[in-house]
Every structure is written in structure tokens, then in C-alpha cells.
Amino acid sequence: MIFNLDSKDPNSKARAGTIKTDHGLIHTPIFMPVGTSATVKGVHQRDLKQEVNPDIILGNTYHLYLRPGEKIIEKAGGIHKFMNWDRNILTDSGGYQVYSLSNNRKINEEGVEFKSHIDGSYHFFSPEKAIKIQKKIGADIIMAFDECTPYPCQYNYAKKSMNMTHRWLKRCIKEFNKYPSVYDYDQTLFPIVQGSTFKDLRAESADFIANIGAKGNAIGGLSVGEPADEMYEMTQVVCDILPEDKPRYLMGVGTPINLLENIALGVDMFDCVMPSRNARNGMLFTANGTINIKNEKWKDNFEVIDSDNYSFVDVNYSKAYLRHLFSTKEALGRQIATIHNLSFYLWLVKEARNKIIDGTFKYWKVGMVKRMNKRL
């Protein structure tokens, strides 16, 4: 993997870059649609490619390990062939999902024992096992196994957890370097900065991660319930320490406004279930604010979904029709809303990239945040 820093905004810390992998170019800043179980829920790969048009999507190691299992994916020739996606894929390590199973897991130095949400069976993830599984899944970018602390979190617990995440990282790197790639393309390992919402811990972790010398770095443990201002404060602390010539990935973030504010702080990569999950519940993100399409006010609004035309669904269907689909619980409604939201998110980061390159990002961002921060 090669990262080139193409342009920097003169009035903020926003950057435009290009990541090159064996599956093509990733233009940053980038939002990665979440394809938890080798699918972005309800969206055909054809529509994902032609309408949403992301350079990279995300898969989930925990879910893919449980179903269909890494052996099936390996037998198919890797995740790209299994799901018929010829662009880039990133897999998270499973650490966040294990965190979300807090009532069904036990953590110690060796790793984490957890109970499957599917059938109640017990499984064990160690740093070594997380890397082995991700190698067999075959994503272009894979993540180190970490512990994601809850919010709020006691300082001593956050420090203890951070130090264990650092020790686990050394084990991940050793396992990653031990064996060649399973497939005929390279994989890249990203370490993860932790430290909860404590500035000194975040700085310590960022310094530790920076000194590892990885090809890219991630920021984890945010967007877990903390106020947005705290998220931005932690992101700023970390971005000021992580190397400038490596991509920075903020995990699990966020709203359209979160994306723009964190781009301004120097973040290059994002993922979040929000645009797809909220879409399935009838929330549409637009450049002029959010819409709850289930509201009665839209029942006889025959205007197109979004005249800004981010994808074909925006100008082929009316708000009244989309509301009708949600009222009757038709699957097509969730699909239309998902394609719209993801297409809007990708438009937003691509537009941010254009504004960074032409030097107007900061002023454009201020206007966009005001426009998007309302309900329609």
C-alpha cells in the first residue's frame, strides 16, 4: 500500500490524498460503506458500484467468522470473489463487536472469550487468531485486535486497557509478518490508537502507534456515546501526533457533520453504519438537513426525493411514494433510502476533497454544517 498526500487545505488541517493498493486507488477523504456480512444491507453490488461508487467498503471479521466462516471464504478465493467486489475492502478486527457483547465476554491478557449472538456458542479471539482470520478473509486493509473501552470509563481502566491493546498490537504484527498473504495481492495492517477520552492517554497511545511505523493508522474507541466536542478534542490530539505521510482512519464515525469536522482535523478515512441503519428506519440525510420520511407531512409531497440527484433513486421516486413504501413495510423503501444516504455520504466526502484541492474547504465546511444541522 502506498499513500500520497495530494493537497492540504491552507486554512485547516484537512488533506486530500490517494491510497494505492492492489485493488485500485482510494481517493481521500473517503467514507467506507459498511458491508457487515459481505453485503451492504439491501444494496446490490451493481448499484453500490454504479450509484454509490465508493473506492472501498468495510467488512466485519466477527460476523464473517461466525457466518459463513473464514474457510468458506478462503475456498471461494477470498472475500472479493466471494461477494463479487473487485475494489478495495477493509475488515475490522472484531474488537468493537466483542466490546458490544459486554455482557457475554471475558477479557484477559491472552484475548477474549465471547458468546455468539447467533446460537450462544463460545468462541475465543486472540490477537493471533484475529490476524489469521483476516488473512483468510483477504481484505486489502486489516485491523489490529484491540479492546474498545466504554464511555464513560474510569481513568485506570482506560490506561490498563490501552497498555494491553499496545501489547496485543505487538503480537498482531508478529503474527502478520510470520506468514505471506494467502492470496496473490498484498494486505496492510493498521494499528489502532486507544485511550478513551483522556488527553494524556490518547497522546501516549498516538505516540506509541506512530513509532510502530505502520503504513496507516486508525483511531478507535470514539463515537461510543461521548459528546461530539470530546470526540473532536481527542481526534485533534491524536492527529497532531500521528505521522502526516500516513492515512488516518477514524473508526465508526459518524453523522455528515461529524465527517466534515473530523476532516478539518486531519482525518482521511471513515466508516459508520449510520447512513444505512438510519435509512432502514426512514431517516434521510441531505445537504439541507435530515428528513424523517415516515412523517405524515410527506404523504402527499410529490416532489422528487432529492433534486440534488446523488443517485438514480433521488429523481425517480417522490417523497410521497417513499413514505408509502415505509408505511406498507415494503423492502424497496429501505433499499431506496439506503442508496440515497450512501450516495449522499460519498458525494459529501468527494466534494470535501474537491474543496481541499481548490483551497476553499474551511469556508465551504462552515456553510455546509449550518445547512445540514436541521430537520426538514
Active site residues: 92, 271
Q: At what angle do helices 331-358 and 319-327 cross, to 10 degrees?
A: 130
Q: Which three cell numbers stand for residue 287?
A: 445537504
Q: Are 272 and 250 in contact (CB under 8 A)?
A: no
| Cis-peptide, bond into residue 29, ω within 30° of zero | yes
Three-state secondary structure call for residue 32: strand
Output the CA angle 96-101-104, nearest 5 degrees.
140
- DSSP code of residue 307: T
Task: Look at residues 26, 357, 22 and name the one whose alpha carbon lies nearest to residue 188.
Answer: 22
Q: Quickly count: other Cβ atoms within 10 Å of residue 298's Cβ.
A: 23
What is the spatial distance between Cα 62 and Cα 137, in angstroms, rounded to a whole number? 11
> In angstroms, what CA-CA distances link 89 with 70, 81, 113, 176, 211?
15, 12, 27, 17, 26
What are the strands of the beta sheet with 88-92, ordered from one edge? 56-60, 88-92, 141-143, 188-190
Q: Quickly count: other Cβ atoms within 10 Å of residue 120's Cβ.
A: 8
Map grid coordinates 478513551 to a residue: 196
> In angstroms, what CA-CA distances link 136 with 64, 145, 181, 240?
11, 15, 8, 34
Per DSSP (E only), the strands in the chain are 2-8, 15-21, 24-28, 30-32, 56-60, 88-92, 105-108, 111-115, 122-125, 141-143, 188-190, 192-193, 217-219, 248-250, 269-271, 283-286, 289-292
What is the spatial distance between Cα 273 and Cα 237, in angstroms, rounded to a whole number? 25
